Each structure stands twice: as C-alpha cells, then as structure tokens.
C-alpha cells in the first residue's frame, strides 16, 4: 500500500453546474493525448460533482498553486456538496465559459472541458474531454499532494481519548468515544470493530488508509518503543507479540513488561505466529491465521489453499531426470530417435535462418530461429526423459561438459587440419573457428565448475 503514496499528484478544483454550482478537490488531472489534445479527470462516484458532470458532460478544472490557503481546500475538499446549499458562499470567484465558478485563491489557471468519453473504473469515473477554454492567470508552482500534506494541511489536534486513528489521505481523526453517527457507528466503538466496508466520512477512503496515532503521550511512548525495537533488530531473533487487551503489536525478542498503550502486564501478551497459505490455483500467498474465504487474485475458494510450513517443501510434482530409463525397449528407442531428430532440426533450422537472412528475408529468418529454439526445448525434454546426456547434478553436468568440449575442440581441429591439407579453405576456416568456440565453451564451464564447486 505504501507504494501508492510514491505516485506524484497535483491538486485541482473541479467545478460543475446543474442548476446550482458545485465543486470538489481532485488530484487526477492527466493529459491523455496531443492530437487532438484530450485531458482526463477522475472523480469519486459519491461526489455530487461527479453526478453533475455525468449529466451535463461539461466541467472546469482549476490548477492550484503552492500559495493556495487551507480554507480553500477545506471548503471544496472537506465539505460534502450534498450537505450544503452553496459551497461558493462568501468566496471570491472566477466565472468561466458555461458559467462555471472557480475560487480565485491559489488558482494558476484553468481548463473548461467538453466531456467526450467516460470510463467506469469501479469507485470512480474517468471523464475524458476536449478543451473548450483554457486561461492562464498567474505564474507559480503547481501544488503537489505531498506539498499540501507537508506545508498546507494543519497538523491534527488529537482527542484526549486513547486508541484514535488518523486518515492518511485527508487527516480525519476517528475518535472511538464519538464514533461516526452518520454511518450508524455508535460512540464507544473501537476502530478495530468498525465494519470492513466503513469509509472515511470526509474522503471516502477505507480503513486501510488509517494509521494508529493514540493520544499525544502514548504516541511518544510508541515511537520510543519502535526506536528500541529497531535497535535490537539484527542482534536478536525478532518476534511479534500482541496485547490481548488493546491489540498493540510489539516486536522484539520477548514481550514487554508493560504494554505502552493500555499498561497491561506482560502476561497479557501472546506471541503472533503468522501462518502462510498458498493458493494451489494461482500461487498467491496469504499471511494470516486462516486462508482467505476467496483468493483475491483468481477467486479460488479457501479449500484451494495449503499451508506453507517451515522446512522442506513437498512439491506436488516436478520433472525427474531419467524417468524414461525403465520404459519398454521400443519406447526408449523412439525417445532416442526423437532426441536425435530434434537436435538435427535445431541445426537445420538455424542454417535455414542464415540462408533467409542472406537472401533478404529477415522475417523468415527470425521465425526459423524461433522454431529452432522450440525444437531445442523439445530436445532438452527428451534428454531429461532419457537421462543419458544429462544428470540431476549441476556439478557433474559441468564436469562432463568440460571433458566433452575438450574432446570436441581437438576433434574439430583435426578435421580443420585435414581440410587445410586438401586446400578446402572454406571447410578449414569454418571448422577452425568452431574449434575455438569449443575451447571457449569448455574454459567457461571449467571456470564455473571451479568457482561453485571447488
């Protein structure tokens, strides 16, 4: 999830009109094409602005600069248009083509778009439009979402109650003592007990975008504990312990004497043993006490998961070298014949590829090379079935090939010498070069053998 926060965004205000004017804050403006120029803006379906654009097929998008005030962001980004009569009350505005309103504060310029295409992407809709109007107002640096979070957004004032959580997107603080009445969350409901489909009442992001902050005192304690944990990592075997009272997770060689959050004793901590489950359909790995009800990748049910335990893995199946050795004689004979045939086809196809390239048919040559590679794979599989020219030991295979390349180098050199005596220069030159190749292969194999096994 943290990787999503490394994507760089700018901030914009998107304005629409359907009877009344409305606007929201977005960070999704993108130029999609240059001929013709098309821009896109992506809006959450829960926003009133979304519904207005969907109906009218028009909108205005203002580029915000670093000088924008938080009050402007708050007015259009942290206030629901369905809950207020007019977001623009008391705000100095700019009027664009089609009578859209935009706040004057912090706006570097704006585009007015005629929407020509919409794409449903789940929680949001992508609106693609052509430019009906574009206006530059002032120079300045466009504000990025990171700049907004670091320099514009006020630091949240934490409630006095413990176990509070902050939304990383908009800064909303969930206080268990208050709950979320609009979502029927009663006061006294811990964050851990919120429904999985509960979303931030401000920006509509889910629970996964909240971080635990505690109260000021506990937050300092937690930071000190995390600092201590980081120091001892690498010196001792790290384990995880969970406080059964408040859910605090401690990393260390052993459980702490006192929980830094709820002050429970050491006896209230239990070691967290994280199990791993592998989906036998697609290979997705899930960490948790039990497998998921449904694989998030391929939708396979829980019974398709197997637990991954430490130690030796028992593979359901794998290739076995020489598995065809004990087959009937006629089967072995055909396996040998096919191995030789596939090897022959490799050389034949590569030779045909060379001919095709020389004649100016590179596409034909490339396909011959592709076919040669596939025939080489066939030959490799026949070799594995037979187990005559390959073993299940990389060390032994390297040793065998060092000796084989040594002999092949000598044999080709002898052939080249005999061809030279008969003035068969083309044969000599080609085979002589091959002999050098065999020497290079053999020395490379010898180097690998010495490096890894001696």
| Domain annotation for the chain: domains and CATH numbers | 8-146 (2.30.110.10), 155-214 (2.20.28.10), 216-271 (2.20.28.10), 276-308 (no CATH), 329-453 (1.20.1260.10)
Q: Where are the alpha helices (DSSP H) in 312-424?
A: 329-358, 362-386, 394-421
As a whole number of angstroms, the distance between CA 128 and CA 125 comes to 10
The half-sphere exposure of 143 on its side-chain side, counting CA atoms within 13 A, is 29
Residues 6 or more apart whose CB falls under 8 angstroms from that of 101 comprise 15, 17, 21, 23, 88, 93, 94, 95
pLDDT of residue 7: 80
- Identify which of 143, 106, 135, 107 has the alpha carbon closest to the alpha carbon of residue 11: 143
As a whole number of angstroms, the distance between CA 431 and CA 448 comes to 26
| Neighbour-count burial of 381, counting CB atoms closer than 10 A to its CB (0-12 exposed, 13-18 middle, 19+ buried) | middle
**260: helix, coil or strand?**
coil
| Neighbour-count burial of 315, counting CB atoms closer than 10 A to its CB (0-12 exposed, 13-18 middle, 19+ buried) | exposed
Sign of CA dihedral 267, 273, 274, 278: negative
Sign of CA dihedral 427, 428, 430, 432: positive
Q: What is the dihedral of CA 244, 246, 252, 257, to 10 degrees?
A: -80
State the residue for tokens 């290079």.
440
pLDDT of residue 160: 55
DSSP state of 277: E
pLDDT of residue 162: 60
Q: Whole-model pTM above 0.85? A: no
* Cis ω for the linkage preceding 271 (within 30 of 0): no
What is the full per-residue pLDDT of the chain (454 aa) written as tens digits?
A: 456 667 888 999 999 999 899 999 999 999 999 999 999 999 999 889 999 999 999 999 999 999 999 989 988 987 788 878 889 998 999 999 999 999 999 999 999 999 999 999 988 999 999 999 999 999 889 998 888 878 888 766 555 556 778 887 777 888 888 889 888 999 989 888 899 889 888 777 888 888 777 654 444 444 444 444 443 334 444 678 888 887 777 877 788 888 877 788 889 888 877 788 888 888 888 887 788 888 888 888 999 998 887 766 777 788 999 999 889 999 999 999 999 999 999 999 999 999 999 999 999 999 999 999 999 999 999 999 999 999 999 999 999 999 999 999 999 999 999 999 999 999 999 999 999 999 999 999 999 999 999 8
């Amino acid at each position: 999830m943290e990787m999503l926060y490394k994507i760089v965004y700018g901030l914009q205000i998107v304005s629409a009109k359907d009877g009344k004017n409305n606007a929201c804050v977005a960070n999704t403006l993108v130029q999609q094409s240059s001929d013709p120029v098309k821009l896109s803006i992506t809006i959450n379906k829960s926003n009133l602005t979304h519904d207005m654009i969907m109906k009218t097929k028009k909108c205005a998008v203002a580029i915000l600069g670093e000088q924008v005030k938080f009050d402007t962001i708050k007015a259009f980004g942290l206030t629901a248009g369905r809950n207020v009569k007019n977001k623009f009350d008391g705000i100095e505005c700019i009027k664009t083509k089609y009578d859209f309103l935009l706040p004057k504060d912090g706006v570097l310029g704006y585009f007015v778009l005629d929407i020509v295409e919409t794409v449903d992407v789940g929680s949001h809709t992508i609106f693609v439009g052509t430019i009906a109007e574009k206006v530059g107002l002032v120079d300045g640096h466009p504000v990025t979402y990171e700049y907004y979070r670091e320099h514009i957004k006020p630091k949240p004032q934490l409630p006095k109650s413990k176990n509070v959580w902050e939304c990383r997107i908009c800064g909303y603080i969930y206080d268990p003592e208050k709950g979320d009445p609009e979502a029927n969350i009663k006061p006294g409901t811990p964050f851990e007990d919120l429904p999985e489909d509960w979303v931030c009442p401000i920006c509509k992001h889910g629970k996964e975008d909240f971080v635990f902050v505690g109260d000021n005192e506990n937050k300092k304690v937690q930071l000190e504990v995390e600092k201590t944990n980081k120091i001892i990592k690498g010196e001792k075997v790290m384990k995880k312990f969970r406080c059964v009272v408040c859910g605090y997770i401690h990393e260390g060689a052993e459980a702490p004497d006192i929980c830094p959050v709820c002050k429970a004793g050491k006896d209230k901590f239990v070691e967290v043993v994280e199990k791993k489950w592998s989906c036998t359909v697609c290979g997705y790995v899930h960490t948790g006490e039990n497998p998921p009800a449904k694989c998030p990748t391929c939708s396979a049910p829980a019974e398709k998961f197997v637990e991954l335990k430490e130690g030796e893995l028992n593979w359901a199946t794998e290739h076995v070298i020489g598995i065809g050795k004990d087959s009937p004689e006629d089967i072995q004979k055909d396996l040998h014949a096919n191995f030789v045939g596939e090897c022959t086809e490799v050389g034949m196809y590569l030779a045909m590829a060379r001919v095709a390239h020389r004649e100016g048919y590179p596409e034909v040559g490339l396909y011959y090379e592709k076919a040669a590679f596939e025939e080489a794979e066939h030959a490799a599989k026949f070799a594995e079935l037979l187990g005559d020219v390959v073993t299940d030991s990389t060390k032994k295979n390297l040793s065998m090939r060092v000796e084989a390349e040594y002999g092949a180098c000598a044999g080709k050199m002898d052939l080249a010498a005999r061809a030279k005596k008969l003035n068969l220069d083309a044969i000599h030159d080609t085979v002589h070069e091959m002999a050098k190749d065999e020497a290079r292969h053999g020395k490379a194999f010898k180097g690998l053998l010495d490096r890894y096994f001696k």
